[in-house]
A and B are shown apart, each in its own frame.
Chain A
Amino acid sequence: MQETSTKDSETDTKVIDEGVEKGLKGLTPEKIELVINQVLKNETGARLKLYIDTCMRCSLCADACSFFLSNDRAPEFSPAGKVKQTLHEMIRLKGKVSKDTLRNIVRIAHTECNVCKRCSMYCPFGIDIAYMILLVRRICHKLEITPLYIQDTVNSHAATMNQMWVKEDEWIDTLQWQEEDAREEFENLRIPLDKDGADIMYSVIAPEPKFQAGLIYQSAVIHHAADINWTMPSFPGWDNSNMAMFTGDYEISGRIAKAHYEAATKLHVKKIVMGECGHAFRSVFDVGNRWMGWAMPPVDVIHAIEFYHYLLTSGRIKIKDKFKETVTLHDPCNISRGRGLHDKARELVDMLCESFIEMTPNKEHNYCCGAGGGAINCGPPWKINRMVNNREKADQIKRTGAKVLIAPCHNCHSGLEDILHYYDQDMEVKFFGDLIFNAMDKTIYKGGE
Chain B
Amino acid sequence: MNMHTFIDFIMGEMVIVSFVIFIAGTCGRLLWTFIHINKTENFIFSYLSFKYSLRSILAWLTPFLPVSSRKKPFFYSISYTFHILLFIVPIFLLSHITLFEEYLNWSWISINDTSADILTIIVILCTLFFVTRRVVVKEVKYITRTSDFVFIIIASLPFITGFLAYHQLFAYKIIMIAHVISGEIMLILIPFTRFFHMFIAPIIRAYTGSEFGNVRGAKDW
> Do A's and B's CB atoms come within 8 Å in the complex?
yes
Q: Which of B181-221 contact A (CB under 8 A)?
A: 194, 196-197, 200-201, 203-205, 207-209, 212, 215-221
Compute how far the CA of A84 lies from the CA of B142 in the bound complex, rounded to whole angstroms. 9
Contact mask A72-108 → B, CB, 8 Å, 1/0?
A: 0101101011001000000000000000000000000
Stretch in B17-25, B41-49, B88-96, B159-167 touching the partner? B41-49
Contact in complex: B36, A45 (CB < 8 Å):
yes
> Which single residue of chain A is at the shortest CB-CB distance from B195?
A56
Compute how far the CA of A374 lies from the CA of B42 in the bound complex, rounded to whole angstroms. 28
> Which single residue of chain A is at the shortest CB-CB distance from B220?
A121
Residues of B within 8 A of A56 (CB): 148, 194, 197
Compute how far the CA of A75 lies from the CA of B142 in the bound complex, rounded to whole angstroms. 6
Compute how far the CA of A336 lies from the CA of B217 in the bound complex, rounded to whole angstroms. 8
Q: Which of A319-340 contact B (CB under 8 A)?
A: 336-340
Contact in complex: A60, B43 (CB < 8 Å):
no
Residues of A within 8 A of B60 (CB): 124, 126
Contact in complex: B139, A75 (CB < 8 Å):
yes
Quick one: given A75-B143, A78-B143, are A46 and B197 in contact (CB under 8 Å)? Answer: no
Compute how far the CA of A50 lies from the CA of B30 in the bound complex, rounded to whole angstroms. 11
Contact mask B49-88 → A, CB, 8 Å, 1/0?
A: 0000000100010000011100110010001000000000
Quick one: given A339-B218, A340-B216, are A57 and B145 in contact (CB under 8 Å)? Answer: yes
Residues of A within 8 A of B140 (CB): 57-59
Compute how far the CA of A393 lies from the CA of B219 in the bound complex, rounded to whole angstroms. 22
Quick one: given A54-B200, A336-B218, are A62 and B41 in contact (CB under 8 Å)? Answer: no
Contact in complex: B37, A68 (CB < 8 Å):
no
Contact in complex: A365, B138 (CB < 8 Å):
no
> Is the C-beta of A183 less than 8 angstroms from some C-beta in chain B?
no
Contact in complex: A45, B37 (CB < 8 Å):
yes
> Is the C-beta of A196 less than 8 angstroms from some C-beta in chain B?
no
Contact in complex: B203, A64 (CB < 8 Å):
no
Compute how far the CA of A365 lies from the CA of B68 in the bound complex, rounded to whole angstroms. 10
Choose among B46, B67, B204 the residue that contacts A54 (Cβ–Cβ < 8 A).
B204
Contact mask B6-47 → A, CB, 8 Å, 1/0?
A: 000000000000000000000000000100110111011011
Contact in complex: B218, A51 (CB < 8 Å):
no
Contact in complex: A60, B68 (CB < 8 Å):
yes
Q: Which of A46, A123, A361 counts the most B-chain CB atoms under 10 A from its CB?
A: A46
Q: In the complex, what's the smallest C-beta–C-beta distance from B51 to chain A, in angstroms? A: 15
> Is the C-beta of A307 less than 8 angstroms from some C-beta in chain B?
no
Offer 29 A-B interface pairs, CB within 8 angstroms, sorted by A. Answer: A45-B37, A46-B37, A46-B39, A46-B40, A47-B37, A50-B203, A53-B200, A57-B143, A58-B79, A59-B140, A60-B75, A76-B142, A78-B139, A78-B142, A81-B139, A84-B143, A120-B208, A120-B220, A121-B220, A122-B71, A124-B201, A125-B201, A125-B205, A127-B208, A295-B46, A295-B47, A337-B216, A339-B216, A365-B67
Residues of A within 8 A of B204 (CB): 50-51, 54, 125-127
Residues of B within 8 A of A339 (CB): 216-218
What count of chain B residues pass the 8 Å CB interface test?
48
Quick one: given A46-B33, A75-B139, are A337 and B200 in contact (CB under 8 Å)? Answer: no
Contact in complex: A60, B40 (CB < 8 Å):
no
Residues of B within 8 A of A361 (CB): 67
Quick one: given A122-B68, A125-B205, A340-B217, are A53 and B44 in contact (CB under 8 Å)? Answer: no
> Is the C-beta of B141 less than 8 angstroms from some C-beta in chain A?
yes
> Is the C-beta of A290 less than 8 angstroms from some C-beta in chain B?
yes
Residues of A within 8 A of B143 (CB): 57, 59, 75, 78, 80-81, 84
A positions within 8 Å CB-CB of B:
44-47, 49-51, 53-60, 62-64, 68, 73, 75-76, 78, 80-81, 84, 120-128, 286, 290, 295-296, 336-341, 361, 364-365
Compute how far the CA of A142 lies from the CA of B142 in the bound complex, rounded to whole angstroms. 29
Quick one: given A339-B218, A364-B218, are A290 and B43 in contact (CB under 8 Å)? Answer: yes
Contact in complex: A121, B196 (CB < 8 Å):
no
Choose among A120, A125, A336, A337 the residue that contacts B197 (Cβ–Cβ < 8 A).
A125
Residues of A within 8 A of B46 (CB): 295
Choose among A45, A53, A76 the residue that contacts B39 (Cβ–Cβ < 8 A).
A45
Choose among A51, A55, A286 the residue that contacts B216 (Cβ–Cβ < 8 A).
A286
Residues of A within 8 A of B196 (CB): 53-54
Contact in complex: A46, B221 (CB < 8 Å):
no
Q: In the complex, what's the smallest C-beta–C-beta distance from A263 to chain B, in angstroms? A: 23
For the complex of A and B, list the 5 residue pairs with the smallest distance between their C-beta atoms, beginning with the closest: A45-B40, A340-B217, A126-B208, A75-B142, A46-B37
> Is the C-beta of B144 less than 8 angstroms from some C-beta in chain A?
yes
Q: Which of B44, B68, B139, B142 counts the most A-chain CB atoms under 10 A from its CB?
A: B139
Contact in complex: B139, A59 (CB < 8 Å):
yes
Q: In the complex, what's the smallest C-beta–C-beta distance from B147 to chain A, in angstroms? A: 9
> Is the C-beta of B137 less than 8 angstroms from some C-beta in chain A?
yes
> Which single residue of chain B is at the shortest CB-CB distance from A117?
B212
Q: In the complex, what's the smallest C-beta–C-beta distance from B113 to chain A, in angstroms? A: 31
Contact in complex: A121, B197 (CB < 8 Å):
no
Residues of A within 8 A of B209 (CB): 126
Residues of B within 8 A of A338 (CB): 216, 218
Residues of B within 8 A of A290 (CB): 43
> Which single residue of chain B is at the shortest CB-CB distance from A82?
B143
Contact in complex: B216, A64 (CB < 8 Å):
no
> Which single residue of chain B is at the shortest CB-CB distance from A52?
B194
Residues of B within 8 A of A60 (CB): 68, 72, 75
Contact in complex: A124, B145 (CB < 8 Å):
no
Contact in complex: A46, B205 (CB < 8 Å):
no
Residues of B within 8 A of A127 (CB): 204, 208
